[in-house]
Amino acid sequence: MLLQMLLQATEQSGAGLAVFGAAIGAGLAAIGAGLGIGKIGGSAVEGIARQPEAAGAIQTAMLIIAALIEAVALFAAVICLLISFKL
């Protein structure tokens, strides 16, 4: 059923399928980033709860790792942008 719909869409305008794929890719990248950073945030908060004196060091580490994860998600977002502008 789904395949039939996809085949019809490709027949009429193939370019639309590329943008559809790009949109799904960007959404998946967002989910991946959200999961990763959420896990980091959870462990960081748990660590601070166990040892409040280490709050400064834990916060710094959490920010660094969050930025690295976000970079990977943004790689994917940039590629999806390139696809949707057909470069």
Partner 1 sequence: MYTHLRLFLSIALVAATCIFSVPAHAEEPVQHKPDTVVDGINKAEQEIEHNLEHSEEKFDIGKMIMHHIADSHEWEFSHGVTLPLPVILYSADRGIEVFSSAKFNNEHHEYNGYHLIHGDSEVIKPVDESRTVYDFSITKNVASMLLSAVILILVFTSIGRSYQQNRGKAPKGFQSAMEVVILFIRDDVVKPNVGPKYEKYLPYLLTLFFFILINNILGLLPGSANLTGNIAVTMTLALLTFIVVHLNANGNYYKHLVSPPGVPLPLLIIMIPVEIVGVFMKPFSLMVRLFANMTAGHIILLSLFGLIFIFQSFAIAPVISLFALFLNFIEIMVAFIQAFIFTLLSSMYIGSAIEEHGHADHGH
- Is 82 a binding residue for partner 1 by CB under 8 A? The answer is no
DSSP state of 54: G
Q: How many residues bind partner 1 (CB under 8 A)?
A: 13
- Report, in Å, the least distance between residue 18 CB and partner 1: 15
Residue type, 87: L
Of residues 49 and 87, the one with the C-beta less far from partner 1: 87
- Report, in Å, the least distance between residue 63 CB and partner 1: 6
43, 77, 82, 83: which one binds partner 1 (CB under 8 A): 77
Are 45 and 62 within 8 A, CB to CB?
no
DSSP state of 51: -
Q: At what angle do helices 14-50 and 2-12 cross, to 10 degrees?
A: 120
- Is 74 a binding residue for partner 1 by CB under 8 A? The answer is yes
